[in-house]
Amino acid sequence: MDPFTMDPFIELDGVEKVFDVRRKTGFLKRERHRVRAVDSISFTVARGEMVGYIGPNGAGKSTTIKMLTGILTPSGGRLRVAGIDPSRERKRLAHRMGVVFGQRTTLWWDLPLIDSYKLMHRMYRIPDARYRENLDRMVELLDLGELLAVPVRQLSLGQRMRGDIAAALLHDPEVLYLDEPTIGLDVISKTKVRDFLRQLNAERATTVLLTTHDLQDIEQLCSRVMVIDHGRLVYDGALAGLHEAGESERTLVVDLERELPPIEAPPPARVVRVEGPRQWLAFPASASAAGLVARIAAEYPLVDLSVREPDIEAVIAKMYAERADRAVS
Ligand SMILES: Nc1ncnc2c1ncn2[C@@H]1O[C@H](COP(=O)(O)OP(=O)(O)OP(=O)(O)O)[C@@H](O)[C@H]1O
Ligand SMILES: [Mg+2]
Last residue of a domain, one of 220, 243, 266: 243
Hey, whose CA ends up nearest to atom 11 of ligand 1? 37
- Nearest atom in ligand 1 to the alpha carbon of residue 231 is 14
* Best residue among 20, 21, 62 to mutate for probing ligand 1, ranked by most atoms within 8 Å of CB: 62
- Nearest atom in ligand 1 to the alpha carbon of residue 180 is 27
* Residues 132 and 269 both lie in one domain: no
* Domains of the chain: total: 2
Q: Is 61 in the pocket of ligand 1 (CB under 6 A)?
A: yes
Q: Please tell me the predicted confidence (pLDDT) of residue 3.
A: 43
Geometric angle at alpha carbon 98, from 94 and 101, rounded to 5°: 115
* Residues 98 and 12 both lie in one domain: yes
- Model pTM score: 0.81
Q: Is 54 in the pocket of ligand 1 (CB under 6 A)?
A: no
In the reported structure, the alpha carbon of residue 34 is separated from the centroid of ligand 1 by a whole-number distance in angstroms of 12
In a domain, 3, yes or no: no
For residue 111, give the DSSP letter. S
Last residue of a domain, one of 224, 243, 262: 243
* Best residue among 20, 21, 35 to mutate for probing ligand 1, ranked by most atoms within 8 Å of CB: 35
Q: Please tell me the predicted confidence (pLDDT) of residue 245.
A: 67
Per-10-residue mean pLDDT of the chain, 329 residues long, equals: 63 96 79 90 96 92 96 96 94 93 91 96 94 93 94 93 94 94 88 91 93 89 92 89 74 94 92 94 86 92 89 74 67
Q: Please tell me the predicted confidence (pLDDT) of residue 23.
A: 79
Beta-carbon contacts of 29 under 8 Å, excluding residues fewer than 6 positions away, are: none
| 8 A C-beta contact, residue 228 and residue 41 | yes
Q: Please tell me the predicted confidence (pLDDT) of residue 70.
A: 95
Q: Please tell me the predicted confidence (pLDDT) of residue 271.
A: 93
Hey, whose CA ends up nearest to atom 17 of ligand 1? 62
> In which domain, by residue range, is 95 found?
8-243
Hey, whose CA ends up nearest to atom 26 of ligand 1? 57
* Residues 303 and 212 both lie in one domain: no
* Residues 133 and 227 both lie in one domain: yes
Alpha-carbon distances of 221 from 8, 52, 209, rounded to whole Å: 20, 8, 11
In the reported structure, the alpha carbon of residue 230 is separated from the centroid of ligand 1 by a whole-number distance in angstroms of 10
Q: Is 37 in the pocket of ligand 1 (CB under 6 A)?
A: yes
Q: Please tell me the predicted confidence (pLDDT) of residue 328.
A: 60
Hey, whose CA ends up nearest to atom 30 of ligand 1? 58
In the reported structure, the alpha carbon of residue 60 is separated from the centroid of ligand 1 by a whole-number distance in angstroms of 6
Angle at which helices 187-204 and 157-169 pack, to 10 degrees? Answer: 10
* Residues 146 and 232 both lie in one domain: yes
Beta-carbon contacts of 40 under 8 Å, excluding residues fewer than 6 positions away, are: 14, 15, 16, 76, 77, 232
Alpha-carbon gap, residue 93 to 86, rounded angstroms: 7
In a domain, 1, yes or no: no
Last residue of a domain, one of 218, 243, 268: 243
Q: Please tell me the predicted confidence (pLDDT) of residue 288.
A: 85
Q: Please tell me the predicted confidence (pLDDT) of residue 287.
A: 81
* Residues 130 and 171 both lie in one domain: yes
In a domain, 321, yes or no: no
